[in-house]
Amino acid sequence: MPLETQEPDPEITEQINNTDDLLGTVSSSTAEESVLPIEKNSSGTSRRQPKKPWSRAEVSAVMRHFKAHISKGKLATKNECNDCKLVEGPVLVQRTAQNIRDFVRNRGITAKRQAQKQKL
């Protein structure tokens, strides 16, 4: 089944550009600074996985589905995240529903913080 190309939404493009600004400040740190302490379970093995940066395609796919949630500050449900993952197919194959949910929550918090900052 061939993928249809869509014209990029200007709001999504703006969100991606804003992400680049945010990521630019994070990417300048060294690997040792950004790694959180690893917790070990009783058998001595780690349960944590290394953080994976979000690609532009992943960000735009999630923003297409959850732009309204983010602007309203509403948290995405697990079922909504699974639906998004199903519709977007191979783009979000490496992300879990919880990863998508966390992304939506973090974006909502960031947007709220930026809105408060602009009011001052």
Domain layout of the chain by residue ranges: 53-120
Rounded distance between C-alpha atoms, residue 68 and residue 56, angstroms: 19
pTM of whole model > 0.75? Answer: no
Convert the pLDDT of each residue in 63-103 to its tens digit: 999 999 999 989 999 999 999 999 998 999 999 999 999 99
- CA distance linking residue 91 with residue 94, whole number of Å: 8
Alpha carbon distance 84, 91 (integer Å): 10
| AA identity, residue 70 | I
Collapse the DSSP code of 11 into the 3-class scheme (helix H, G, I; strand E, B; otherwise coil) and give the result.
helix
Indicate the SS3 state at residue 108: helix
Q: Write out pLDDT tens, residues 22-70.
A: 444 444 344 444 555 566 667 778 888 888 999 999 999 999 999 999 9
